[in-house]
């Protein structure tokens, strides 16, 4: 499987992705915002875009659909619920949990329903070793998607607990946005004793390249850096208690997740 990661360098800090089959050059664009950038990148690689896939219905993840489809004749794949409601128009292939997506003869991706950021959100997990997860706005490097534009924090927690936390530790994440530095600062604020977050933030500040902030994170790295993966951490819970004095004596992981998500909204 070949993967091209395109940094949009826009205020919303979007990533666009292209996944291609090394045997046939057939390619799938994921969450295209800038159709011209995606087309040029595919052309440069000698790939042919035959499919366009959306992880969810937000405008910055579907804006390039129409023109990409018009210019390539690609098939549009999207969450079944977004297709049914019309939130994503002109869907050819509605996708649900357990479906598979093929890109050429050599690439197979499994569809996981990962609601929470929006209620119809899906992610794509490659059948490769290591696995690669195209997770839209579910997981970010050192962070979690917000829930204030059609989502629900308790649902996002269940997605983390039932799907994300159970992936192999060497799974690579391909998020829809680049928020690594601000997420690490949030981790530092919530868990000042987190040495990994402190050191990674220091490295990032030293080697910052605004034209190419590309960062790769695995699940094991998220477990170290991402507060939303550290829900039983005593320092995080003690600091939350200062903000939420009414919190239960021994808060469960869901309560910690939801409180952290609430604080991150105003960060």
Tell me whether residue 58 or residue 259 sits nearer to Zn ion (CB atom): 58
Answer yes or no: 137 catalytic.
Answer: yes
N- to C-terminal Cα distance for the chain? 37
Answer yes or no: 60 catalytic.
Answer: yes
Cβ–Cβ < 8 Å for 91, 114: no
Q: How many residues bind Zn ion (CB under 5 A)?
A: 2
- Please state, as a whole number, how many other Cβ atoms lie within 10 Å of the Cβ of residue 9: 14
Catalytic residue among 34, 35, 58, 132: 58
Q: Which residues contact 255 (CB under 8 A, 6 or more apart)?
A: 247, 248
Tell me whether residue 58 or residue 163 sits nearer to Zn ion (CB atom): 58
Residue ranges in 6-65 that form contacts with Zn ion under rule CB under 5 A: 58
The two tokens of residue 31 are: 């969450």
| Minimum distance from residue 177 beta carbon to Zn ion (Å) | 8
The answer to the question of residue 137 lying near Zn ion (CB under 5 A) is yes
| Minimum distance from residue 55 beta carbon to Zn ion (Å) | 8
Q: Which stretch binds Zn ion (CB under 5 A): 135-143, 155-163, 183-191, 257-265?
A: 135-143
| Minimum distance from residue 207 beta carbon to Zn ion (Å) | 28
d(CA 159, CA 197): 24
Tell me whether residue 56 or residue 190 sits nearer to Zn ion (CB atom): 56
Answer yes or no: 121 catalytic.
Answer: no
Tell me whether residue 141 or residue 194 sits nearer to Zn ion (CB atom): 141
The answer to the question of residue 178 lying near Zn ion (CB under 5 A) is no
Catalytic residue among 35, 132, 177, 225: 177
Q: Which stretch binds Zn ion (CB under 5 A): 14-22, 136-144, 185-193, 216-224?
A: 136-144
| Minimum distance from residue 146 beta carbon to Zn ion (Å) | 8
Catalytic residue among 31, 34, 35, 56: 56
Answer yes or no: 129 catalytic.
Answer: no
Answer yes or no: 61 catalytic.
Answer: yes
| Minimum distance from residue 151 beta carbon to Zn ion (Å) | 8
Answer yes or no: 117 catalytic.
Answer: yes
| Contacts to Zn ion by CB under 5 A | 58, 137
The set of catalytic residues is 56, 58, 60-61, 117, 137, 177
């Amino acid at each position: 499987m070949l993967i091209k990661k395109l940094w949009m360098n826009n205020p919303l800090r979007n990533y666009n992705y292209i996944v291609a089959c090394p045997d046939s050059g057939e390619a799938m664009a994921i969450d295209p915002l800038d159709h011209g950038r995606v087309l040029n990148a595919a052309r440069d690689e000698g790939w042919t875009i035959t499919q366009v896939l959306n992880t969810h219905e937000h405008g910055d993840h579907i804006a390039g659909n129409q023109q990409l489809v018009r210019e390539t004749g690609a098939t549009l794949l999207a969450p079944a619920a977004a297709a049914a409601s019309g939130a994503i128009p002109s869907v050819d292939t509605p996708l649900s949990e357990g479906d598979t997506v093929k890109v050429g003869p050599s690439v197979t991706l499994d569809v996981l329903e990962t609601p929470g950021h929006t209620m119809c959100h899906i992610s794509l997990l490659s059948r490769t070793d290591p696995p690669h997860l195209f997770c839209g706005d579910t997981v970010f490097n050192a962070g979690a998607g917000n829930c204030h534009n059609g989502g629900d924090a308790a649902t996002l927690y269940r997605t983390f607990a039932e799907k994300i936390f159970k992936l192999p530790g060497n799974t690579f994440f391909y998020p829809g946005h680049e928020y690594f530095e601000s997420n690490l600062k949030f981790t530092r604020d919530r868990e000042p004793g987190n040495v990994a977050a402190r050191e990674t933030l220091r490295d990032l500040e030293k080697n910052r390249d605004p034209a190419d902030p590309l960062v790769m994170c695995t699940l094991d790295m998220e477990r170290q850096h991402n507060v939303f993966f550290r829900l039983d951490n005593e320092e995080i819970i003690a600091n939350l208690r200062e903000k939420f004095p009414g919190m239960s004596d021994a808060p469960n992981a869901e309560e910690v997740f939801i409180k952290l998500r609430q604080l991150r909204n105003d960060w």
